[in-house]
Structure 1
Amino acid sequence: MSPAADPQAIEDALALARELAPRMSAVVLTHFPDADTLDLMRPGAGPLEAVAALNRALAAELAHEGVQVLVQVADRAAFRRWMDGRADTPEARRAWRNHRGLLQGDAAFQMLGLDPSAMRPPRRGKASGTPAERLMRAFADEDGGEFDELAEELVAAGRDGVLDQAIRKVAARFGEEAARELAQELLAVAEGARIGPAGWAALVALPVALPPDAPPDPVSLGESLIASGALAEELELRFLPEWRVPEALEALSPGALRRVLVEMVAGEEPAALPPAKPTQLQESGFGVLVGLQYDWAIPSWEEIAAKGLPEPPEDDKETPEEAARTEVFERWRAATYQAADGCVALALVPFSEASAEIADFLQEAGEQTSGLTEIRDFVDMARGEAPGEEVVCRATVEGERLQLALYTRAGRFLDELTLEAAQLPVPAAEMPELLRAFVPLAARPPGS
């Protein structure tokens, strides 16, 4: 230990690390190459040797606990650019990330002055049975740690045959629904990994219902979403420059999906996911923008020591920040619909959820179409009650609700109908234009 290091400070930090490690998957340590950089970025943090000694002790302890250790090398110029326009607070200083890339694995430990061979976390004892049987047991026992570790090992090795065997075993033992759940979980494992400059990379997808004519330019569409402000600040997103069809995404095995991720991180076109041909897009009616997303939100040890671990989001509860981004995304989607002749962008979702997102959209569209059918039936029934008379409609928009009242042209009231937003194919304010196609509209009740 460096003579400049405070033994008690290190022991306190290690105690905190041991306490928090079970809830941590990865952590960022900042390596300061010289005292001037440390003084600029962390004024008052202490001698350079003490900070380096603390980093080494923390890295060894956290690695032993199975936490991924990432190291960013402090850069004065990049830090100054980051702080430009930001309030000079400890929180802003700690939030800086070296976007030229975080060091991982052996390179991270070597930068801190540690022997990588001594940093390997202890491995679990190997359970009995074939890999497929072990995966089935881990899945059935709901042992998240063992399942994630074994699934990652098999996916990374491209052992699709073993994964298929595990799915068949689960189907035979627990039923087809459980087998489908396992298959989906394996795809979710495959679409993200501890690779890339941020320490974590994942594939995402933006399904788009295409207009009947030519699809919009995928590059412009992707760039407009990235520039819209709908993404969290810590996310970095890059789309492939051409359309893919949903059927091509569905055809990928977990091993093939992981290869797509690795190739995209390397800046290569994914061999197993070629661009869609125009005829494929026309037949499908949907195109998908496939994106590579880097997550720079992995906390630094300094942030953890100052504020604790970030609290996991509550299920189905949207934060104010998420609500604001959702509003921005909806504005972007509406603008895209207008600019691209009716193309409808769905949600930006994990790659493995693209098909489910499309299925939900089609179900919702079907419900909305049924609402339009209900309006047509409503008008036809009223016409049957007033044979030989012209039927007119007064449409009133109340927030997101549409209220329809039918009269004869002479002013006799016939019937009324109220429809909620979920029943309408377009926003309530846009419905009158659709109604004109099959019933005359009246600004006020006839005869009033």
Structure 2
Amino acid sequence: MDEATDQADAVEHAAALAREIAPDLGAILFTHYPDADTLDTLRPGSAELGAVTAANRAAAAELTAAGVQVFVQVADKASFRRWMHSRVDSPEARLAWRDRDRLLSGDAALKTLGVDPALARPGAAPRRGSGSAADRLVRAFAEDSADFDDQALELIEAGRDGVLEVATRKLRERFGDEAAEDFAATLLALAEGAEMGPAGWAELMALPVALPPGAPPDAVSLGASLIASGVLAEALELRFLPEWRTPQALAALPPTALRRVLVDLLAGREPADLPPATPARLSEDSFGVLLALQIDWEIPLWEEILVNGLPEEDAEDDADGADGGTPEEQERLTLFDRWRSAVFETGSGCVPLALVHASEVEAEIAAFLEEAGEHSAGIEEIREFVAMGRREAGEDEVVCRLQGAGDGLEIALYTREGRFLDSITLSAEQLPASPEEMPRLIAAFVPVVDGPPG
């Protein structure tokens, strides 16, 4: 079989596979090899450069025509060698290389592969049913229509607040409060995530934090420490805004404004709809929010699909998820808990909650307050005891030493210089948390020391 026949077969196979998998893909990543030496460096033993280029072009054309978003990374030998330096050389490791900083998309990606960008031009807009835009949206939601997301996103991106408000009111009148609340939550979820950005999918995430009295901790350092803790999956990138926002301001945003915040963050702009909070407002609200742009870089690689096919759903993973997540997810939760404990124990006094979607911040804070309310009596007793000690200490700083007392806990107050102020002993039933958890809890409003100071 001659070289021309080999290339024709490779092109035909690539095009057929692309047509087969297109309905299951939203985006795809191709690697473009500028020359034969680069191809041999990244994929030793592969077909000739001409065959690889032609097959990629044929597959990309089919996928583009089917509406799949095509991304391209241009293979770079130096970058690839740096990537492989600390890894075991294997086909899997070679296929895992991604050049996140220089991915091409849109017309630039297609032209690099030799595909006509006109293939990606959208066709005529789908015909809508009868009635007003609000009526059509209500009907699509009530019927669980596949067209609902497209209709809602069109209105959100056009800033049609009035139409969305009318649709919400009509849903409440026809189907009740629960349906209207479900509809509103669905709109927010659609608004905060989008098939856009450098990797084809981006969404708004938020870290709500219970703040200590006084000045809030440094937002930049807190966000950076979370990213450095290893809690994120490898394919995810988190970019925190450098200043605090309030939960109330975030919750007040309608879907159209939430979408504009996402667009602003993708463009590297401060969100006009959600300015930073003042220290006074943060102190008054007791909670702050770190807002972040999350980018998902887990784009299927065409060469991986050629070798292994599309990844299949893993029944075991589904079962693990029902019990609280896969082992990898459980490990990330453990890392998050360690990070949260470390933040609390640094003396900042803040309590990070969970990293959630931006629309879920209110619910996350409500759940935290509900849980904390179960222990509020014990906490208030300790707070009053510390406040009394501070009044007695005058200008001196007050610190606390904790010591086990049977199944309870003795709490002793001193000045930083070592003057004893007072102590109380609480039984296990009186404690707002277990004795092991009490140091972290008490450290939120008074420094905890290992032994009597001075």
TM-score range, shorter chain: 0.7 to 0.9
Bigger shift: residues 4-13 or 334-343: 4-13
1:78 aligns with 2:79: yes
State the distance in 2 between where 1:191 and 1:242 align. 19
Residue 341 in structure 1 maps to residue 348 in structure 2? yes
Distance 2:296 2:261 in 1: 18
Q: Over residues 197-233 of structure 1, what are the superposed CA-to-partner deviations in whole Å (9 max), with x where a residue is unaligned?
A: 2222211100000012221111111111111111111
Q: CA deviation at 1:27?
A: 1.3
SS of 2:232 mapped into structure 1 = coil
Change (3 A) 1:140 1:230: same
TM-score norm. by structure 1 comes to 0.80
Rounded to whole Å, the distance in 2 between the matches of 1:299 and 1:192 is: 19
SS in 2 for 1:267: coil
Q: Evaluate the alpha carbon distance shift between residue 141 and residue 302 of structure 1 in structure 2; reply closer, same or farther with a 3 A threshold.
A: farther
Query: Which structure 2 residue ranges, 5 or more long, are not aligned?
Result: 382-403, 410-426, 443-454
Distance 2:258 2:439 in 1: 46
Residue pair 1:4, 1:47 contacting (<8 A) in 2 also: no
Give the match for residue 137 of structure 1: 139
Given that 2:64 and 2:119 are in contact with CA atoms closer than 8 Å, whether structure 1 keeps it comes out as: no
For 1:293, the equivalent position in structure 2 comes to 294
1:48-59, aligned counterparts within 5 Å? Answer: 48-59=49-60
**Tell me, what secondary structure is at the counterpart of 2:239?**
strand
Matched ranges for 1:377-388 at <5 A: none
SS at 2:137 equivalent:
helix
CA displacement at 1:140 relative to structure 2:
2.0
How far apart, CA to CA, are the structure 1 residues paired with 2:436 and 2:278? 37
- Contact 1:4/1:50 (<8 A) preserved: no
Counterpart position of 2:336: 329
Distance 2:149 2:292 in 1: 23
Paired with 2:74 and 2:258, the residues of 1 have a C-alpha distance of 32
Structure 1 segment 208-287 matched on structure 2, within 5 A: 208-287=209-288
Is the contact between residue 205 and residue 293 of structure 2 (CA under 8 Å) also seen in structure 1?
Answer: yes
Q: How far off its partner does 1:152 sit?
A: 2.5
Once the two structures are TM-superposed, the CA of residue 373 in structure 1 deviates from its matched residue by 9.4
| CA apart distance, 1:123 | 5.5
Deviation at 1:340, TM superposition (A): 3.7
> Partner residue of 2:407?
395
Displacement after TM superposition at 1:425 (Å): 4.2
Amino acid at match of 2:191: A
- Equivalent residues of 2:7, 2:54 under 8 A apart: no
Number of equivalent positions: 395
Residue equivalent to 1:39: 40
Distance 1:178 1:47, change over 3 A: same
Find 2:311's aligned residue among 302, 309, 323. 309
Q: Which moved more, 1:306-315 or 1:229-238?
A: 306-315
1:161–1:42 CA distance, 2 compared to 1 (3 A)? farther
Distance 1:113 1:427 in 2: 65
How far did 1:432 drift? 9.0
The aligned amino acid for 1:309 is P
Counterpart of 1:114, as a letter, is V
Distance 1:47 1:75 in 2: 18
Letter of the structure 1 residue corresponding to residue 406 of structure 2: R
Change (3 A) 1:303 1:433: closer
Which position in structure 1 is the counterpart of 2:360? 353
In structure 2, relative to structure 1, the CA distance for the partners of 1:432 and 1:257 (3 Å cut) is closer
Query: CA offsets per residue over residues 228-281 of structure 1, 9 Å max, x none?
Result: 111111111111111100011011121211111111122111111111011211
Displacement after TM superposition at 1:354 (Å): 1.3
Task: Name the stretch that deviates more: 35-44 or 153-162.
Answer: 153-162
Whether the aligned pair in 2 keeps the contact of 1:171 and 1:178 (CA below 8 Å) is yes
Output the CA distance in 2 between the equivalents of 1:16 and 1:52: 16
Deviation at 1:82, TM superposition (A): 1.6
How do residues 37-116 of structure 1 correspond to structure 2 at under 5 angstroms? 37-116=38-117
Using the alignment, how far apart are the partners of 1:281 and 1:294 within structure 2? 28
Residues 38 and 77 in structure 2, CA contact (< 8 A), matched pair in contact too: yes
Who is 2:422 aligned against?
Answer: none
Determine the C-alpha separation between the residues in 2 that align with 1:283 and 1:305: 57
The match for 2:199 is 198
Give 2:70's aligned amino acid.
Answer: V
Normalised by the length of structure 2, the TM-score is 0.79
- CA-CA distance at 1:418 after TM superposition: 7.6
- Structure 1 distance, partners of 2:313, 2:284, is 45
- Secondary structure of the structure 2 residue equivalent to 1:66: coil
Alignment partner, residue 452 of structure 2: none
Cα drift, residue 322 of structure 1? 1.1
SS where residue 206 of structure 2 aligns? strand
Q: Distance in 2 between matches of 1:35 and 1:319?
A: 41
| Change in 2 beyond 3 A, CA 1:105/1:170 | farther
1:337 Cα deviation after fit: 0.5
Quote the Cα distance in structure 2 between the aligned partners of 1:197 and 1:81: 22
Structure 1 stretches lacking a partner, 5+ long: 375-391, 398-415, 436-448
User: What is the CA–CA distance in structure 2 between the aligned matches of 1:186 and 1:178, rounded to whole Å?
Assistant: 12
Structure 2: how far apart are the matches of 1:74 and 1:346?
41
Matches of 2:88 and 2:336, distance apart in 1: 27
Does 1:207 find its partner at 2:219? Answer: no
The alignment status of 1:366 with 2:373, answered yes or no, reads yes
2:27·2:68 contact (CA, 8 Å) conserved in 1?
yes
Please report the RMSD computed on the Cα atoms of aligned residues, expressed in angstroms.
2.9
Whole-angstrom CA distance in 2 between matches of 1:40 and 1:175: 63
Q: CA 1:162–1:433 in 2, change beyond 3 Å: closer, same or farther? A: closer
Q: Report the AA paired with residue 429 of structure 1.
A: E
Distance (Å, rounded) in 2 between the aligned partners of 1:434 and 1:68: 49
Cα shift readout 1:87-138 (whole Å, capped 9, x = no counterpart): 1111121121112232222222222112211233656631223333332232
Aligned to 1:403: none
Over 3 Å counting, the alpha-carbon distance change for 1:163 and 1:55 in structure 2 is farther
Q: Is the 8 A contact 1:207 1:347 kept in 2?
A: yes
Shift of 1:428: 4.2
Whole-angstrom distance in 1 between the partners of 2:296 and 2:223 = 18
Shift of residue 28 of structure 1? 1.1
Amino acid at match of 1:323: Q
Partners of 1:102 and 1:199 within 8 A in 2: no
**Equivalent-residue separation in structure 1 for 2:433 and 2:248 (angstroms):** 27
